[in-house]
Structure 1
């Protein structure tokens, strides 16, 4: 007695398959790779080549300017990924009807959203590791004194920026709108992260206001952990509240078509 050969073979999980596909597409975008993975480290390197920026400053507690700019460059990578790279991709998929067509397949549109969040989050963390490594090797910037606190602040900052990017996707009907809105948010977040003026050197009133923004709080939390202290619970709380609020808004407003 013979039996029919079985044709049911193990198939890759839809999310894993989508993630592999989106990773290949992401790696084919040299612009995104440059701005997320290369630009933050390049900017920090340029600043580090300025001799005065490598000298300890009593006004900064004995630290140098480049010491302050390592966390700033880390945040810059996240801003690039969450606000410049991810929103146009997702809104473009929705605009072209890709998300709607996926609804009729075994792969749900939510798998694509999850893959984009995982991909850009991983790119942000990879760029952060590169910034910290180059800062240490090239300019002698000390590694974070409170590693666990630094990692916690880093993960909260990534979650916050991706929630903000998802909110922009939810509110933008087209990729052009997403790019425009993302650019405005990008400039604001760059300022609050301390790209132009480190948060620690801002006037007291301005610093207090900035610390209630996602990246102002993140900049302070990362700086505290880098200095060896546990990040302030107020700064961690600000990031957590922003992440929860933005995540709720994006979940309720996001449309697949």
Structure 2
């Protein structure tokens, strides 16, 4: 009678299988993919992030001619083309994301995410990706429309302008996520978002130039987050300043807003 020797692999020979990590990564990818699919089905996105900035840019961009003067230090059309990229950022963070996330809370979707085993950070990451993708698509479309009409101004300082776009986008996407988790319903988010967006839009980005404003309005505009984000993009883009101090302030605000948003969206 023969005996067989059964050998067991040593612990070192057993491959490590990180099942929870793989499951979490797969679940997060599915969540991001689903949110991106929903992006193009939201009428608020199509209206305020894609259509509104383009239409208003086309109207106001041609209202002041193309010659620099004491009000506009550069071609006025280029001034507004550069500014309206910030309008896309503001519309995403103050209108699109708050309404989208508040509607999730209102319908209990976030509780279902938590019950389905999504990792705690997955929803915040998904909304960050959705917001940045929306800004990238809408910003590209805005410049594509502006190019044959007014021309796209040469970027004088590409690195600083790119940094301004990134930190401004992260700041307002985080603000949008935070607002969406704080407001009780989609209707409330829409009302508050519009109330925050339009004064910031008119005073700090897409309205009259600062030189024609009263001192009181200029002081208000200087401290609007959207106006500060606009300065970090427009000044290095058009070569009218480096906005170093403003960039540092916007970056600090982005860090704080991102931390608060991540804490609020923990499933």
Judge same fold: TM > 0.5, yes or no: yes
User: Partner residue of 2:169?
Assistant: 158
Deviation at 1:152, TM superposition (A): 0.5
Distance 2:233 2:239 in 1: 10
Pick from 53, 58, 63 the counterpart of residue 40 of structure 1. Answer: 53
CA separation of 1:20/1:141 partners in 2, compared to 1, >3 Å: closer, same or farther?
Answer: closer
1:79 and 2:90 equivalent? yes
Partner deviation per Cα, 1:227-248 (whole Å, 9 max, x = no partner): 2366322111221232233334
Give the CA deviation at 1:62. 5.1
Q: 1:179 aligns with which of 183, 186, 190?
A: 190
Partner residue, 2:117: 106
The alpha-carbon deviation at position 30 of structure 1 amounts to 3.8
Change (3 A) 1:45 1:253: same
Report deviation, 1:85. 1.0
Inter-CA distance 48–82: structure 2 relative to 1 (3 Å threshold):
same
- In structure 2, list runs of 5 or more residues that go unmatched: 1-18
What is the aligned counterpart of 2:223 among 167, 189, 212? 212
Q: CA contact under 8 A between 1:153 and 1:231: conserved in structure 2?
A: no
Contact kept in structure 2, 1:68 and 1:198, CA below 8 Å: no
Q: State the Cα distance separating 1:33 from its structure 2 match.
A: 2.1
Q: How many residues align?
A: 246
Instruction: Report the equivalent of 1:197.
Output: 208
* Equivalent of 1:126 in 111, 124, 137: 137
- Please list the CA deviations of residues 9-63 of structure 1 after superposition, one character each: whole Å capped at 9, or x if unmatched: x87722211111111122122441232123212221223444xx23213214552
Cα distance in 2, alignment partners of residues 251 and 103 from structure 1: 15
Residue 131 of structure 1, CA deviation: 2.5
- Counterpart CA distance in 2 for 1:177 and 1:109 is 26
Contact 1:192-1:210 within 8 A present in 2 as well: yes
Report the Cα offset of residue 148 of structure 1: 1.2
Unaligned runs of 5+ in 1: 1-7
Is residue 235 from structure 1 mapped to residue 242 from structure 2 by the alignment?
no
Query: What SS does the corresponding residue of 1:106 show, helix, strand or coil?
Result: coil
Whether the aligned pair in 2 keeps the contact of 1:82 and 1:161 (CA below 8 Å) is yes
Counterpart CA distance in 2 for 1:89 and 1:141 is 32
In our comparison, the structure showing a higher alpha carbon Rg is: 2
- Seen in structure 2, the aligned counterparts of structure 1 residues 111 and 254 have a Cα distance that, compared at 3 Å, is closer
CA distance, structure 2, for counterparts of residue 111 and residue 225 of structure 1: 34
Q: Give the Cα separation in 1 of the matches to 2:208 and 2:143.
A: 20
- 1:20 partnered with 2:33: yes
2:74 aligns with 63
User: 2:156 maps to which residue?
Assistant: 145
Give the match's secondary structure for 1:112: helix
Give yes or no for the alignment of 1:135 onto 2:134: no
Change (3 A) 1:141 1:202: farther
